């Protein structure tokens, strides 16, 4: 009975209202992302699409690291009404790391042979992710920390909306070489979005003279968040990079398309987590009822998601075209990992909010290592379904590890 009362309070509370609003925003965001993905996939073809996903994954991973975890400091301190100093430190730290990591990104792309797929694609995506999106993310985190989660997520949706609009123009027929066009689309969308957010974002950035890098014990605190950003940021796309090495021909592109679509499935769970973070940060260790409610909602939603994907999977294959034959089968397998992924997101958000981010880093690193180890075992057969089942297995095993970590923290606190 206590569980149902707690769940009923959660459904009527501020977190629930924010989650519903954020879900609506994220649904629009993922719908736009799906349209963008469909256009790029059809424009580049299955083989080139896999390279595009790899470039994007690397840029998002290292670009997110350029702020060295200070975006989460901005979220936390904004929830505690101390956003100005956090923004000063965040922007100063980003200014220090962004150029160095951008050079590393270009070198890695060269080593992986990704530059051969289009130099302007690598540069356009890189400039957007390293020098433009981090500033937009700081503004979004400040608004989310102040309680305006839906508005903060709206600003993160802006580049995707601009990108999809420009990509539609490119797909209809602009005469530009596809790789060059995609790179220019990324760069143009990022510039336009950042200008709009700076004007209408509701957050005034500190003057440049106040920007400063982390100092003293801040490095250790932000370092944990940076590790969180690195490990959690690697997860959404690491499987696609592994698939690029394991699957022949256009198989990696087919897998990447299915995996991208699966990202839309967990949108409501991500919204629930984002809406809960300000409260979890403000009252660490005092919201066990909220945790239970989040877990019940995430599990219930996952059951509905599995049924929906089983019905919608064939439509995806029709939308992508004949070069993506087999994508519905991959999606039908991957969806069995949604319950584990959803519950792991909930548990890991609590680990982070409790100030025990090291445990979340351990869980995330275990996820990546498990994928690499198990993935090497399917390299021989190179089957799409084998890679998909590996990902599902990794999701469930790391959920168990996350629950164990949360129980250990609870026992120590008790």
Q: 212's torsion region: left (phi>0), alpha (psi -120 to 50) or beta?
A: beta
- Please give the mean pLDDT across all residues of the chain: 77
pLDDT interval class at 117 (50, 70, 90) = low
Question: 343: which 2 tokens?
Answer: 């519950």
Q: What's the CA gap between 406 and 292, in Å, rounded? A: 13
Condensed to tens digits (0 to 9), the pLDDT of residues 209-265 reads 888 888 777 787 777 777 777 776 666 667 777 776 777 656 777 787 787 777 777
Q: What is the DSSP letter of 202?
A: S
Quote the pLDDT of residue 145. 75
Q: What's the CA gap between 328 and 150, in Å, rounded? A: 32
Q: What's the CA gap between 40 and 160, in Å, rounded? A: 13
Question: 138: which 2 tokens?
Answer: 């700081």
**Nearest to 23, CA basis, from 149, 186, 175, 143:** 149
pLDDT interval class at 150 (50, 70, 90) = low
Q: What's the CA gap between 125 and 115, in Å, rounded? A: 12
Quote the pLDDT of residue 221. 74
Q: What's the CA gap between 299 and 296, in Å, rounded? A: 5
Overall average pLDDT of the 200-207 stretch: 79
Reported as half-sphere exposure (CB side, CA atoms, 13 A), residue 345 has a value of: 27
Is 338 in contact with 266 (CB distance < 8 Å)?
Answer: yes
Condensed to tens digits (0 to 9), the pLDDT of residues 42-58 reads 777 766 777 787 888 88
Quote the pLDDT of residue 286. 57
Q: What's the CA gap between 281 and 352, in Å, rounded? A: 9
- Strand, coil or helix: 92: helix
Question: 261: which 2 tokens?
Answer: 């679509």
Q: What's the CA gap between 337 and 341, in Å, rounded? A: 6
**Nearest to 170, CA basis, from 187, 153, 149, 154:** 187
Please, which residues have CB within 8 angstroms of residue 363's CB and are 6 or more apart in sequence? 344, 348, 351, 398, 401, 402, 405
pLDDT interval class at 7 (50, 70, 90) = very low
Overall average pLDDT of the 148-173 stretch: 78
The pTM (predicted TM-score) of the whole model is 0.69
Domain parsing of the chain, residue ranges: 2-413
Structure-model confidence comparison of residues 131 and 13, the more confident one: 131
Is 343 in contact with 399 (CB distance < 8 Å)?
Answer: yes
Overall average pLDDT of the 385-402 stretch: 87
Quote the pLDDT of residue 100. 93
Overall average pLDDT of the 128-137 stretch: 90
Quote the pLDDT of residue 365. 83
Question: 52: which 2 tokens?
Answer: 């595009």
């Amino acid at each position: 009975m206590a569980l149902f009362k707690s769940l009923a309070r959660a459904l009527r509370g501020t977190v629930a209202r924010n989650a519903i609003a954020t879900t609506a925003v994220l649904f629009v965001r993922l719908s736009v992302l799906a349209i963008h993905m469909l256009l790029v996939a059809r424009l580049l073809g299955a083989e080139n699409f896999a390279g595009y996903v790899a470039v994007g994954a690397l840029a998002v991973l290292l670009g997110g690291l350029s702020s060295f975890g200070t975006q989460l400091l901005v979220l936390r301190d904004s929830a505690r009404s101390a956003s100005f100093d956090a923004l000063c430190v965040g922007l100063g730290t980003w200014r220090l790391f962004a150029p160095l990591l951008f050079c590393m990104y270009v070198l890695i792309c060269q080593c992986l042979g990704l530059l051969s797929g289009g130099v302007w694609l690598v540069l356009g995506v890189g400039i957007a992710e390293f020098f433009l999106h981090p500033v937009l993310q700081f503004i979004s985190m400040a608004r989310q920390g102040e309680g305006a989660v839906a508005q903060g997520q709206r600003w993160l949706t802006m580049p995707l909306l601009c990108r999809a609009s420009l990509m539609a123009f490119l797909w209809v027929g602009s005469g530009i070489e596809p790789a060059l066009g995609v790179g220019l689309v990324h760069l143009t969308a990022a510039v336009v979005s950042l200008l709009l957010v700076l004007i209408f974002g509701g957050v005034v950035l500190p003057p440049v003279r106040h920007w400063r890098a982390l100092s003293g014990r801040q490095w250790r605190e932000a370092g944990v968040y940076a590790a969180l950003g690195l490990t959690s940021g690697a997860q959404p796309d690491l499987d696609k990079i592994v698939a690029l090495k394991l699957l022949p021909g256009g198989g990696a592109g087919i897998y990447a398309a299915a995996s991208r679509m699966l990202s839309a499935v967990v949108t409501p769970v991500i919204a629930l987590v984002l809406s809960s973070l300000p409260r979890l940060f403000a009252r660490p260790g005092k919201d066990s009822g909220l945790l239970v409610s989040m877990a019940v909602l995430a599990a219930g939603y996952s059951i509905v998601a599995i049924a929906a994907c089983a019905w919608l999977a064939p439509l995806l294959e029709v939308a992508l075209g004949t070069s993506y034959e087999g994508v519905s089968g991959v999606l039908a397998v991957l969806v069995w990992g949604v319950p584990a992924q959803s519950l792991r997101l909930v548990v890991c958000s609590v680990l982070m909010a409790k100030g025990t981010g090291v445990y979340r880093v351990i869980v995330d690193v275990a996820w990546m290592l498990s994928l690499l180890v198990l993935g090497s075992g399917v390299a021989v057969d190179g089957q799409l379904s084998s890679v998909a089942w590996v990902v599902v297995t990794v999701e469930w095993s790391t959920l168990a590890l996350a629950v164990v970590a949360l129980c250990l923290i609870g026992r120590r606190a008790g």
